[in-house]
A and B are shown apart, each in its own frame.
Chain A
């Protein structure tokens, strides 16, 4: 048993040490796996703001992941074919610059989260789950039928996008970018949780009526949380697409939404580092069990079932002295 803070520090140290070790021993694939872990963790940190803090069980976060991915895909595709994205009413060119792509990914997914959140937050509980799932499917089918950008086959980007001053084709440099962004997002999420907004949101999850009696509107709190959450997941989507140099409708699929949610649960709901630890476990299982059996998802299913039925605090709950989140 150890303090949750010690565990968090260990996780962060591991995320720095392991890829560095892989870099020294020249194992680029390990660095790629670590990058995948960090990006998935970021997507889950985004969802965790809505889910852990706000209590919003969104089964449609693949929408934002996919939108981030397609923001990257479209901009980079038009840059590599030297065709403008649109000419009327004003000219928009494609770009291969990561910061610009990130900004677009964040804005687009935040806007989508605003609309989806506005519609689905009118309901709660089981309805909310079904509706977010349905909106996810809507984007999935839209991406499949949008033949101008590859439809079902997706879009390939030949060269990874650039970041000023760095060589993003070098795995360890791209990893450094992703890890830095994850650190910023984690810092932001921790600040958010203890800000007045975070406290109000937490209260709205526990007792909406009391929050209403305090003169705050739970709907607006939740909507803002949903938008922030979607924007972060969108940023992760853009990075994920850049890692694979490929986007496809699979990023919008309901399985993707489920996977992002699994990461949070494996680690521990409502904990800052839960998604990070969950992502590490998920990618490790995917890699090791995936090598042993083609049907490794059965084992993931059994593990998930065991965590839900018997180990409510997730991995952090089992390892740290603070058993349950939200003290």
Chain B
């Protein structure tokens, strides 16, 4: 267990965390502003990844691929909002869950129908591939560093958008009192479509960025979606700051737990058993973290409301 390994794992955890943030931020905004549980957010992540893989395959340009992911997911999000989601705002959570579950089925099987069941591959662009040497002699893949940087930049942009711009003020006002801002002359329908498309674009971007280090396949979005839910439960609903800290906490716990739990157990029990029990415990670590937060603070670390 060297210091280099620990540093590498911390960076991996950060990289995983910022990508989770891109998912969780959109989900949290949509839940906060519209009060909607969107299970289909994972599908938008998948759509981003598939758009990127298709465009990268056709043009060979990673930049175009990313733009396609953003645009494709945003358009899909806006369409879904106008056609289906809009009818769900006044319905109870059960209807929202079922309708968005139905959307997952439609999107997943539709994608399987279009692209087949085999995973696609999205390559890291040459200029970003290969390792870099960090201070302290740590070799780390450049692309993952770029992911951390890109995630932090998007997070910064989102904070700025929410806290400083006119549209951000409208979004925050929509979270607090939707009747009032409608009465003040804001087109609430357009605002909802915009927030939904923004969340979708963030999910699509995350899908494309992560798609380059994992395979692009049907069903890739849902495990991330559920982790993003864990992030929101830990961070508190409707809070971008909570989503950010929650995402980093979940990313680090997930990555470091897989390394340290087996090692820590080896100090107590025999190595073979420690490895298998440690692996099982590590796979449960973030959910145990969620349970602890629930016991201590049921509204999440930064949540104002239940």
Write out the residue numbers on chain B whose beta carbons fall within 8 Å of the beta carbon of A148.
276
Which residues of chain B (269-306) have a CB below 8 Å from chain A?
276, 279-280, 282-284, 287, 290-291, 294-295, 298-299, 306
Contact A254 B226, CB 8 Å, known A126-B237, A305-B84: yes
For chain A, what secondary structure do more than half of its interface residues adopt (helix, strand, loop), or is it mixed?
Answer: helix
Pick the contact of A261 from B84, B97, B284, B287 — CB < 8 Å? Answer: B97
Q: Which residue of A lies closest to B37 (CB)?
A: A126
Contact A127 B233, CB 8 Å, known A295-B113, A301-B102, A308-B95: yes
A24 adjacent to chain B (CB < 8 Å): no
Q: Which of A51, A137, A261, A296 lies at the interface centre, i.e. has the most chain B CB atoms within 10 A of its CB?
A: A137
Write out the residue numbers on chain B whose beta carbons fall within 8 Å of the beta carbon of A265.
94, 98
A182 adjacent to chain B (CB < 8 Å): no
Among A88-96, A139-147, A159-167, A207-215, the stretch in contact with B: A139-147
* Cβ–Cβ contact A126 & B93, under 8 A: yes
* Cβ–Cβ contact B94 & A120, under 8 A: no
In angstroms, Cα B291 to Cα A165, docked, is 45
Q: Which of A144, A146, A297 lies at the interface centre, i.e. has the most chain B CB atoms within 10 A of its CB?
A: A297
Which residues of chain A (229-283) have a CB below 8 Å from chain B?
254, 258, 261-262, 265, 269
* Cβ–Cβ contact B294 & A305, under 8 A: no
* Cβ–Cβ contact A262 & B283, under 8 A: no
Write out the residue numbers on chain A whose beta carbons fall within 8 Å of the beta carbon of B294.
119-120, 122-123, 131
Write out the residue numbers on chain B whose beta carbons fall within 8 Å of the beta carbon of A1.
none
Which residues of chain A (99-140) have a CB below 8 Å from chain B?
119-120, 122-127, 129-131, 133-135, 137-138
In angstroms, Cα B59 to Cα A204, docked, is 58
Which residues of chain A (275-302) have a CB below 8 Å from chain B?
295-298, 300-302
B175 adjacent to chain A (CB < 8 Å): no
Pick the contact of B283 from A51, A142, A261, A296 — CB < 8 Å? Answer: A142
In angstroms, Cα B193 to Cα A178, docked, is 48
Pick the contact of A297 from B108, B229, B290 — CB < 8 Å? Answer: B108
For chain B, what secondary structure do more than half of its interface residues adopt (helix, strand, loop), or is it mixed?
Answer: helix
* Cβ–Cβ contact B31 & A126, under 8 A: yes
Shortest beta-carbon distance, B235 to chain A, in Å?
A: 12
* Cβ–Cβ contact A131 & B98, under 8 A: no
Which residues of chain A (178-221) have a CB below 8 Å from chain B?
none
A309 adjacent to chain B (CB < 8 Å): yes
Pick the contact of B105 from A130, A138, A301 — CB < 8 Å? Answer: A301
Shortest beta-carbon distance, B224 to chain A, in Å?
A: 11
In angstroms, Cα B95 to Cα A67, docked, is 27
Pick the contact of A130 from B35, B37, B306 — CB < 8 Å? Answer: B37
The proximity string for B residues 98-131 relative to A, scoring 1 for CB distances below 8 Å and 0 otherwise, is: 1101111110111011000000000000000000
B263 adjacent to chain A (CB < 8 Å): no
Write out the residue numbers on chain B whose beta carbons fall within 8 Å of the beta carbon of A138.
283-284, 287
Write out the residue numbers on chain B whose beta carbons fall within 8 Å of the beta carbon of A144.
283
Q: Which residue of A lies closest to B234 (CB)?
A: A134
In angstroms, Cα B114 to Cα A298, docked, is 13
Write out the residue numbers on chain A whose beta carbons fall within 8 Å of the beta carbon of B78.
none
Q: Which residue of A lies closest to B117 (CB)?
A: A294
Contact A269 B94, CB 8 Å, known A138-B284, A145-B280, A309-B99: yes
Contact A133 B229, CB 8 Å, known A119-B295, A120-B294, A141-B283: yes
B208 adjacent to chain A (CB < 8 Å): no
Shortest beta-carbon distance, B201 to chain A, in Å?
A: 22
* Cβ–Cβ contact A141 & B284, under 8 A: yes
* Cβ–Cβ contact A130 & B280, under 8 A: no
In angstroms, Cα B101 to Cα A316, docked, is 21
* Cβ–Cβ contact B229 & A134, under 8 A: yes
Q: Which residue of A lies closest to B287 (CB)?
A: A138
* Cβ–Cβ contact A301 & B106, under 8 A: yes
In angstroms, Cα B282 to Cα A66, docked, is 20
Shortest beta-carbon distance, B150 to chain A, in Å?
A: 26
* Cβ–Cβ contact B94 & A57, under 8 A: yes
Q: Which residue of B lies closest to A123 (CB)?
A: B298
A98 adjacent to chain B (CB < 8 Å): no
Shortest beta-carbon distance, B261 to chain A, in Å?
A: 11
Closest 8 CB pairs of A and B: A301-B105, A138-B287, A130-B229, A304-B102, A301-B106, A141-B283, A305-B102, A301-B102
- 29 A-B pairs whose Cβ atoms sit less than 8 Å apart in the complex: A119-B294, A126-B93, A127-B233, A127-B298, A129-B37, A130-B37, A130-B232, A130-B233, A137-B223, A138-B283, A138-B284, A142-B280, A145-B283, A147-B276, A148-B276, A261-B97, A261-B98, A261-B101, A297-B105, A298-B109, A298-B113, A300-B105, A301-B103, A302-B106, A304-B102, A305-B103, A308-B91, A308-B95, A308-B98
List residues of chain B with CB under 8 Å of any chain A CB.
31, 35, 37, 84, 87, 91, 93-95, 97-99, 101-106, 108-110, 112-113, 222-223, 226, 229-230, 232-233, 237, 276, 279-280, 282-284, 287, 290-291, 294-295, 298-299, 306
New A-B pairs, 4, CB < 8 Å, besides A126-B93, A298-B106, A305-B106: A130-B37, A137-B287, A138-B287, A301-B105
